[in-house]
Amino acid sequence: MNVSTRVVILLVVAALAACTASEPPPEAPVSRPVKLMTVGNDVPSRTLRFPGSVSAVKQSDMAFEVSGRIVEMPVTEGERVAAGTLLARLDARDYVAGRDRARAERNAARADFNRYDQAYKANAVTAQQLDQARRALEVAEAGYQQASKAMDETVLRAPFAGRIADKLVEDFANVQAKQPVLVLQSDDALEMRVSVPEVDWVREAPVSSPATIELEGDLQVVLSSLPDRPMPATITAFSGAADPVTRTFEVKVRFHPPAGVSASPGMTGHVAYTPPAESNGNALLVPADAVVTTPDNRPFVWVYEDSTGAVTRRLIDIGELSGDRLHVLAGLEAGERIAVAGVHTLADGAAVRPMGD
């Protein structure tokens, strides 16, 4: 080996040594913050939420029982009216004339009956003639009552206090009998109709009638437009059988909007029920969002190990869903800590730290 070759080799070795010395040491794995939950036997306080829409407790599609032309409709949409308030009136001239004619016929039939009655007592007419006069009077009396009722039906009054939700016809329109002309809704109390899954209905409210419902937890109505103003509510009615398709029970929940809250039918929201926390034996409940599935649909959770500061995958056996939580039948023990957020981005052995540490 000549001198020039040795020089080249020394230069290459020196260059490699310099590159090796300039490389930084490998970085230690960075732990990411993760929200954890300690699993326990006590069922944590949970809230069951059932979406629904607001409707009036009482609603009436107001209609005349007779036909005619509207000559007066002094109410406007959105106006609040008291019970007995005049809502609309028909042109009653024909009905007044019909009533007066029926009254005259009734009076004539009554006078005829009185004459036949006196004549019968004097043995001047037969019992059959008296019966004919009595039947004529009864027919005339019925005709008068019918005509009087028809005239009264030309006036439409509010059967209860409420708010005019909609006017369905124009002023001075000709309407037919039983044709709705406006919609009246009560506004002192409202209700929300929701569909409750049968598993929650059986567990939380095993009752036979609304009068026996005594929920120990907290039942509230929360409007989507007022999420920070929950309103106390009570169950007033529910379906007697589950829907054959959805397997849910329809439940009506009544609530009273507080002063200053303008709640109206048609608004959306949900009914929130928070049952009291209770001991649940050996069963454990975990948030449904904390449970992940393997490619072959086996459920598991990420268990946090204090000794390693990392999470490991733990296969579990799950039971039925209760609200937003799942019953864990096997695979976890009380006191263990599991990840409950960001679980789809974790990996086995990933370094994490409890959120807030």
- Angle among Cα 50, 265, 61 to the nearest 5 degrees reads 125
Residue 191, helix vs strand vs coil: strand
User: pLDDT (tens digit, 9 = 90+) per residue, 111-136?
Assistant: 999 999 999 999 999 999 999 999 99
Residue among 100, 269, 243, 121 nearest 190 (CA): 269
**For position 211, what pLDDT does the model report?**
45
Give me the CATH topology for the region 32-44+280-354. 2.40.420
Cα 93 to Cα 99: distance, rounded to the nearest angstrom: 10
Q: Pseudo-torsion of CA 160, 161, 167, 173, nearest 10°? A: 60
Q: Is the pLDDT of residue 6 over 60?
A: no
Q: Is the pLDDT of residue 187 over 80?
A: no
**For position 46, what pLDDT does the model report?**
66
Which CATH superfamily, name and number, covers 93-152? Helix hairpin bin (1.10.287.470)
User: pLDDT (tens digit, 9 = 90+) per residue, 195-247?
Assistant: 888 777 776 554 544 544 555 568 889 999 888 889 999 888 888 788 888 88
Give me the CATH topology for the region 59-87+155-182. OB fold (Dihydrolipoamide Acetyltransferase, E2P) (2.40.50)
**For position 234, what pLDDT does the model report?**
87
CATH number of the domain at 48-57+189-274, out of 2.40.30.170, 3.40.50.300, 2.30.30.40, 3.40.30.10?
2.40.30.170
Cα 173 to Cα 90: distance, rounded to the nearest angstrom: 10
Radius of gyration of the chain (CA): 40
Cα 234 to Cα 244: distance, rounded to the nearest angstrom: 26
191's CB contacts (< 8 A; 6+ apart) are 54, 55, 56, 57, 236, 252, 253, 254, 255
- The answer to whether 32-44+280-354 and 48-57+189-274 have equal CATH topology is no
Mean pLDDT over 323-343 rounds to: 83
Task: Write down the domain spans for the chain.
Answer: 32-44+280-354, 48-57+189-274, 59-87+155-182, 93-152
Q: Is the model more confident about 58 or about 93? A: 93
What's the pTM? 0.55
Q: Is the model more confident about 248 or about 69? A: 69
What count of other Cβ atoms lies within 10 Å of the Cβ of residue 184? 25
